[in-house]
Amino acid sequence: MAQALPFIVAAAAASSSLMATAQERAVGEAQAKTLEVGAGVKRTEAGLESEALAAQQRRQFGELRAAGAEAGLTESVTFGDVYRQAAAAAELDRSLIEYQGETQARGLLTEAKITRAARPSWAQGILRAASAGVQGYAGGGGSLGGGNA
């Protein structure tokens, strides 16, 4: 039984090391998926904010047209120019919101890729397990030396 102890310790150390690798990989994958979900949320938020701004601007431009028509200004060149400039500025505002949302989403997706790449590979896990097994074997009283000369 004393001769089996080093092997038992080695097996326990190696399996513990493999389980740790599996857990590290699972945690990294969960973190990456969370970042990907966050990217989707950023895109959705930007789209909703852009749509809300567009609806608000449509109401404001409708009110502006009605006020201009009431005042008899709709045929005025100046009124038309101001209206077109305001519409162009409003479109730029919406585009900026969408661009910022997309930029934030891409940043999160890049972070997710980095998180996945940083996870230990199974090859690394096997090497760690082998090392832990050897250390466990030696720590359990096993001899790695060559015997008597």
Residue-wise pLDDT tens digits, 16-62: 888 988 899 999 999 999 999 999 999 999 999 999 999 999 999 88
CA-based torsion, 73, 77, 80, 83: positive or negative: negative
Residue 102 predicted with pLDDT over 70: yes
Reduced DSSP (H G I as helix, E B as strand, rest coil) percent helix, strand, coil of the chain, to 5:
85, 0, 15
Q: Count CB neighbours of 108 within 10 A.
A: 21
What is the Cα 132 distance to its own chain's centre?
33
CA-based torsion, 22, 23, 25, 29: positive or negative: positive
Q: Which amino acid is at 73?
A: L
Q: Are 10 and 142 in contact (CB under 8 A)?
A: yes
| Residue 6: per-residue pLDDT | 75
Q: Which tokens sit at 122?
A: 């199974």
Q: What is the pLDDT of residues 73-98, one digit of tens each?
A: 777 878 888 888 988 999 999 999 99
- Distance set, CA 126 to CA 4, 11, 15, 108 (Å): 22, 13, 10, 30
pLDDT over 90 percentage in the chain: 46
